[in-house]
Structure 1
Amino acid sequence: MSRFFVFLLFFSAVFLQSGAYGLTFMLPRLFDSFGANEKIVGSMLLVTTISTLVTVYYSGHLSDLFGRLRTLAVACIAISASLFLFGSLDRVGSGLVIASLLLGAGWGLTYSLCPIVLTRLVRADERVRFFTLLSVFVMAGFGLSPVLASALESSGYSVRDAFYVTATLCIVSAVLFLLLDAPIKAHAISPRAEAPSRITIAALQGVLKSPALLPVTMVCLGASIFAGLNNFQTVFADTRGLDYADFFLTYTITVVVLRLILARFKGGKTPYLTISLLQYVMSLSIVIFIFSGASLPLYLLVAVLFGVGYGVSYPILVAMTANDARDDLSAQTLQVFALSYFVGIFGFPLIAGWMIVEVGATPLLVLIAGLAVIEATMALWRVMARSA
């Protein structure tokens, strides 16, 4: 199998399973169909968070034992089972908890192991480019699955059918990862066996004492911002009389196009300054959203600016994490990065769901805007500290 075909199949597998996370944006709509509110959505995503954190912590142990590609295949099967279960449930109960646990386990493994597999195939000077391409396929899956759900609803189907379709695609993804096991080993940059990936206390201390601590902290804030704005976008849109599909489609197109155009962009001479400027743009998008009301043009502008700010800065931040990591702790650093990401992505909706029900959507957006300013300022602080 050629190197090009290996990358083609790998990114295809990533795309097919990444739609599962995009469907978490549809949980408020799904839960509303059986009388559950945003608090229940947040609670179930908290269960997903716990499952994800435990799984990511042990992802290195599992991949050392079974191999990274086989572990990814099993993860996709877990995600598929989760989505089928979500689609079939019609009440709050143990079934939702099991579905949330399976989703967290599967998504935690795929998110943490895919970048590690990619580092095995590319040189250090290619990381930004290929991490950007990886993020393009992940984001395409993220953003298009809610659009798929909207299209199905418009065609007379239900949101549950989107869960069934995406679950089937995850099975295809599992097969592709299994087929790639031998070819990826054959095309590895280094012929030696994979270095141990497991996280130990010593490894964790090494990561937290390295310069990578800053991007690891920043990604938690960024994930919280992303989750707060996207997981309840259906709620925001319905309240304002807008179509959530317009936001997700505009955001996805913006991110995919810009990441493809900037695939070879490494962040410039001062990557953290680039990250900071982009995240201030992200902050601006949320401020506009607070005051935009039912205006469709402003709604689309918010999606574009958020796509520019968050969408472009994220792959640069991933690359900076890999570059700031100790050489002997590269795999563990990326796993800790994933742990931090998931604390925000699945943990923050618990706070967001509570705020929507108890105090309203506007205070939540104000909080998200504040977090965005803090994250942008942290990147700027790194620039100033290094230039001092």
Structure 2
Amino acid sequence: MTIPPKTWMVRAGKRGALIDRFRNASRVAIGWAELGSLAAVADRPAMVALVRAQWPDWNAYEVGNNAGQLHRFRSEIQASDRVISYDPEGRVYHVGAVGGGYAFEPAFDPDYPNVRPVAWIGTVPRDALSVAAKNSLGSVTTVFQVPADTAAELDALLAAPEDRATVDLAASVHARGDAGGDLAVGPAPSATLVDSAAEAAAEQELFEDLEAKALEFIKDRLAKLSARDMELFVAGLLRAMGYKTRVSPVGPDRGRDIFASPDGLGLEDPRIFVEVKHRSGAIGAPTVRSFLGGRRPGDRCLYVSTGGFARDAKYEADRAAVPLSLLDLDDLVALALEHYDTLDVEAKRLLALKRLYWPA
């Protein structure tokens, strides 16, 4: 099997604004114009130092991320490599061969003066790529190396554009046949159905992967809250569920961190006593028994432990004389997502989330 050339993505500015200039000038370019020429910055440590000096307020990640992209463009891309850039309007990836070394050309664009010469050799429609390849090219990073399997897929599609046309024609013929046309179709419909099913499965797998990662990041964010902020967040979650709450002041809490009830006074049932433990270790049965002490018939109890619960604690909850619910970090995140829209401003400040839309 032919090994594809090393391939790099160089984005054409925001929303592909520079793609026509890239093609017309046979260039790819990046910004960071404040740094001036990078010709003398031959290694990554020197690039890191340059970026840190220019933007001293940036954190270590910002410095490393930006310096890494600059170093790739300046030194790692070689004349034998391929480069691609995306045209979002045409939904195609323009593919070119790198024609030479780094240059500083403010005349190309004062905001994008760092350039590389490129001989453009063809295009690949985004719709012709697999879901996995589309995902690998979806990074918002300006400069990155394209994974080898995606580079091979681009190379194959670039080398055989007639195959793409055949596939597209077969799909078109199949669609017209379904619509009542008189065109005969051979095995293409079943192949199309197989491809569609495979793509749907790949999209579902990608969605589940992103969903799992998002849940872990949400748990990471909650885990970073202080013990007091965690109590306030749980109280906010209970308010979002329709209860009025009172949070015990810092110090001895008389066996509860939060009290919740429909009226906030405890005159209406249910009266909910809440204990919140924000730590890494699992809660055991003795701690649960201590919390339940003094509770009376009609009370309801909720124990929140971000460190989880030992098996004996769960057994203790099951046999308790008063109803007791145990919530670990996973349960807390699930409830937070279910009721996020009705959380008040204070609770959303403690767990700020963005909504992400995904094709249904």
Task: Report if TM-score (shorter chain) is over 0.5.
Answer: no
TM range (shorter): under 0.3
TM-score, structure 2 as length reference: 0.26
TM-score, structure 1 as length reference: 0.24
Q: Which has the higher contact order (CA 8 A, sep 6+)?
A: 1
Q: Of Structure 1 and Structure 2, which has the larger fraction of its residues in strand?
A: 2
Higher Rg: 2
